[in-house]
Chain A
Amino acid sequence: MTLHLTEPRTGGAPAQSPESLKPAPRKSRRGSRPGGSSIDVQRKKLLIPFVGPAFVLYTVLFIVPALGAVWISLHKWAGSGPMKFVGLDNYGRIFRDQLFLSSFGNTLLLLFVVGTAIFVLAFALTLVLRDMAGKKIARNVIFFPHLINALVFGVLAGFIFNPGGIVNSLLAPLGVTDPPKWLAQDNIFPLIMVTLVCTTTGYFTTILMAGVDRIPPYYYEDCALAGASAFQRLRYVILPLTWDVFGTCAVLWTISSVKIFEIVWVFGGSSGAGVPPTQSWTAAVYTYVNAFSGQSTPAYGAATASAVLSLALISVLVVLLRRAMRRDAVEF
């Protein structure tokens, strides 16, 4: 179905006249090199019509804004009016801003603490699921939260942890007459962390399972014959053979945890002003509020500086992860 819809846009030009398209000079030089079959030569001529649209859209709407962010972060700018070049001043300013430090700290908490919890749980679940009866059903169910907008969990949490909400009514028969104020400003962020662990673990379990499922069963049989304990099997078979999948998951979590925004924004229902309490801010929320909340003069410079720092954090971590996880790939 999609195919029919898509075709006229992608292929219109080359369909009419693939021959008449004059390729870029570089291409033709490559094409005339001996050794390529004629289909390869022809294929190379498709560079502009095939790669062009994707390249242009991606560059204009993604790469240019990303570079623009670095540019804006070097200026003092309120969104309109003149931009004033201030060099690295914005970075110095946000590092002296208590609010930014706590927001960035929260992002780090999500990245490392929530990340660790998710990985331990997901790996444990993978081991349990590996040869469990009904594993497909279980896996399909725990994957589903990944498809739901995090807003939904934030709103539901507001209902569940209300003073008169479900949690307290469940605790009352257990003798808890004075339950903690779940949605007090200081308690929101820990609750967000717990919620994220609950809703994200299933996704990573699914990915890890795809890795564990690739391990041929005769390795396990060999373990059983050799009398390896469950721990030894884990240490010498499962872990080394799924190491690359772990690496991929770690990179995925690094990238996705730094942009967490929605769930913080509405968690427990908003606190009146439309902006969540500062104790629960993440770096992404800091960026958004500083630029668009309309509460104070927009500080585009500081806001983008915060975002650029998040990007730097991701880049450093991804490079480190690749280094740390790089081992000889085990072929099996």
Chain B
Amino acid sequence: MSEYKLQGTITAPRRRGRRGVSPALRGERSVVRGIGVALLWLVVVISIAALVWMVAQAFRDTRSILDDPWGVPTSLDFGNFVRAWTVGDFAVATWNSLLTTVVSSVLTVAIAAPCAYYLSRVDNRLTRGLSLYFILGLGIPAQVILIPLFVMLNKVYLTDSIIGLNLVYIGVSMPFTVFLLTAFFRSLPLEMEEAAALDGTTAFGTFWRITLPLAKGGILTAFILQVISHWNETLLALTLLQSTEKYTLPVALISFVQQQTYSGADWGGLFAGLVIVVLPMLIIYVWLGRRLTEGLTLGMGK
């Protein structure tokens, strides 16, 4: 119910497309196509195998990985994880990443949603200008704001601080989230809001009690997309954080890689580190994958 309109527009044509293939089309098969299909499945199998392989290597020690990279772990040995956890400072980094990701994503959506609602419901020259102003940010690459941001935050003692990083993530995520949610709010039916307004609900009340519950799906999508981008963000974190106990996971991973040029490669620990970075994304994807791809294509494809 909550997102029936969106779902309707997205899934309906696809379903028709699959069922309605006419016999005339079904018969068509060519050699090139056959090769294409085979190659595609090969890619799919290799991708899955690579992921499984990476997780498997994380349970083996460095020497056996190097001796036989195709081997499977003989026992469930968490030694690599323990080492990455302690020596590589991944424990603190995981906690920092988790904290930063959740806090900044929640706040991003909480701040962007009302703004997107306003921009989608009020149509005048001011809101059109504001929408354009927000879209502008989509085209600015992070390296442009890197140095001024560092200088600014340094002045107010927010470099090397998780709070500062959170603030930066929220600000940087505004354009995309506002853009996505504006598109989403526009796709919602207006009738219920109007009915509520006729019944005497305030403007804020219609947003809070009618639109937000209706938009739960879109808001969750926006939230997940932020979680993914903040979990993986590297350049800003690398610049703004200096002390080990503030590192987020990507920064910890980089410093772990760089330590190895001096101490010899600890591939077991490294694989464990990679798994810690990748696994949460895999879980989210398996859990909410459909919503995710739909959210991305809604924001982009239109």
Q: What is the interface of chain A, defined by CB distance below 8 A to chain B? A: 2-3, 5-7, 9-11, 14-15, 18-19, 26, 30, 37-40, 42-47, 49-51, 53-55, 57-58, 60-66, 68-69, 71-72, 79, 124-125, 127-129, 131-132, 137-145, 147-152, 155-156, 159, 164-166, 169, 206-207, 210-211, 213-218, 220-221, 224-225, 230, 245, 248-249, 252, 255, 258-259, 261-262, 265-266, 269-272, 274, 283-284, 287-288, 291-292, 300, 303-304, 306-308, 310-311, 314-315, 318
On whether the beta carbons of A307 and B147 are closer than 8 Å, the reply is: yes
Contact residues of B: prevailing secondary structure? helix
User: How far apart are A24's CB and chain B's nearest CB, in angstroms?
Assistant: 10
Q: Which residue from chain B places its CB closest to the CB of A166 in the assembled complex?
A: B69
* Pick from B17, B115, B124, B232: contact of A213, CB under 8 Å: B17
Given contacts A51-B118, A128-B37, A148-B281, contact A58 B203 (CB under 8 A): no
Question: Could you tell me the distance in whole angstroms from the C-beta of B46 to the nearest C-beta in chain A?
Answer: 10
Docked pose: A318 CA to B140 CA in angstroms:
12
- Cα(A239)–Cα(B138), bound, Å: 26
Closest 3 pairs (CB-CB, A-B): A61-B171, A6-B110, A68-B148
Interface string of B155-180 (1 = CB under 8 A from A): 00000000000011011101100100
A207-B277 contact given A141-B47, A216-B16, A269-B257, CB 8 Å threshold: no
12 extra interchain contacts, Cβ-Cβ under 8 A, other than A37-B197, A58-B175?
A: A18-B202, A51-B114, A51-B118, A57-B171, A61-B172, A69-B145, A147-B282, A149-B250, A220-B22, A221-B25, A255-B139, A259-B142
Chain A residue, CB-CB nearest to B105: A2
Q: What's the least CB distance linking B132 to chain A, in Å?
A: 12
Q: Which A residues lie within 8 Å of B36 (CB)?
A: 124-125, 127-128
Q: Is B98 among interface residues, defined by CB-CB distance under 8 A?
A: no
Q: In the bound complex, do residue B24 and residue A221 qualify as a contact, i.e. CB atoms below 8 Å apart?
A: yes
Query: Which range contains the number of B residues in contact with the other chain?
Result: 35 or more
* B residues apposed to A, CB below 8 Å: 13-14, 16-18, 20-22, 24-25, 28, 30, 33, 36-37, 40-41, 43-44, 47-48, 50-51, 54, 66, 69, 106-107, 109-115, 117-119, 121-122, 124, 126, 130, 133-134, 136-152, 167-168, 170-172, 174-175, 178, 193-194, 197, 202-204, 206-208, 212-213, 216, 219-220, 223, 228, 231-232, 234-235, 238-239, 250, 253-254, 257-258, 260-261, 265, 267, 270, 274, 277-278, 281-282, 284-285, 289, 293, 296-297, 300-301
Q: Could you tell me if A54 and B111 are in contact, using CB atoms closer than 8 angstroms?
A: yes
Residue of B nearest to A212 (CB): B17
Q: Return chain A residues, CB-CB under 8 Å to B140.
A: 62, 66, 311, 314
A39–B20 CA distance with the chains assembled, in angstroms: 44
Q: Assess whether B148 is in contact with A72, with CB atoms less than 8 Å apart.
A: yes
- Minimum distance in angstroms from B73 CB to a CB of chain A: 16
Chain B residues lying within 8 Å of A151, measured Cβ to Cβ, are: 234, 250, 253-254, 277
Contact of B115 among A51, A125, A129 (CB under 8 A): A51
A184 to B235, CA, bound (A): 25
The answer to whether B148 and A53 have CB atoms under 8 Å apart is no
Chain A: CB-nearest residue to B45: A141
Chain B: which residue is nearest A221 at the CB level? B22
Q: List the B side residues contacting A63 at CB < 8 Å.
A: 133, 136-137
Q: Verify A62–B25 contact, CB threshold 8 A.
A: no
Q: A270 touching B257 by the CB < 8 A rule?
A: yes
B-side contacts of A318, CB under 8 Å: 139
Residue pairs across A and B with Cβ atoms less than 8 A apart, 21 shown, are A5-B106, A6-B109, A6-B113, A19-B202, A50-B207, A51-B115, A54-B115, A55-B115, A58-B171, A64-B148, A66-B148, A128-B37, A129-B40, A138-B44, A150-B234, A155-B274, A217-B21, A221-B22, A230-B30, A288-B235, A292-B239
| Across-interface contacts of A225 in B (CB, < 8 A) | 24
Least distance between A240 CB and chain B CB atoms (Å): 16
Give every chain B residue within 8 A of A306 (Cβ-Cβ): 143
CB-CB under 8 A from A69, the residues of chain B are 144-145, 147-148
Q: Do A269 and B33 have beta carbons less than 8 Å apart?
A: no
Contact between chains at B141 and A314 (CB < 8 Å)? yes
In the complex, which residues of chain A have a beta carbon less than 8 angstroms from the beta carbon of B274? 152, 155-156
With a CB–CB cut-off of 8 A, which chain B residues contact A45?
Answer: 203
- Closest chain A residue to B219, Cβ basis: A2
A58, A259, A266, A304: residue with the most chain B Cβ atoms closer than 10 Å:
A58
Choose one: A7, A57, A64, A284; the contact of B174 (CB below 8 Å).
A57
Distance, CA A325 to CA B257, complexed state (A): 43
Are A62 and B301 closer than 8 Å at their CB atoms?
A: no
Known: A230-B30, A255-B139. A2 touches B144 (CB 8 A): no
In the assembly, what is the distance between CA of A39 and CA of B205, in Å? 11
Instruction: Please state if A155 and B109 are interface contacts (CB–CB under 8 Å).
Output: no
Chain A residues within an 8 Å CB radius of B277: 148-149, 151-152
Tell me which residues across on chain A come within 8 A of B48, comparing CB atoms.
Answer: 141
A315 to B193, CA, bound (A): 39
Which chain A positions have C-beta within 8 A of B234?
A: 149-151, 261-262, 265
C-alpha gap A308/B140 in the complex (Å): 9
A128 lies within 8 A of B250 (CB): no
* Chain A nearest CB, measured from B21 CB (Å): 6
Closest CB in chain A relative to B183 CB, distance in Å:
12
The reply to whether A206 and B69 contact each other, CB–CB distance below 8 Å, is no
Instruction: With CB as the reference atom, state the residue of chain B lying closest to A224.
Output: B24
B-chain residues with CB within 8 Å of residue A124 when the two chains form the complex: 36
B204 touching A46, Cβ below 8 Å: yes
Give, as a whole number of angstroms, the nearest-CB distance from B25 to chain A.
Answer: 5
Assess the A164–B143 pair: CB atoms within 8 A: no
Q: Is the CB of B110 within 8 A of A5?
A: yes
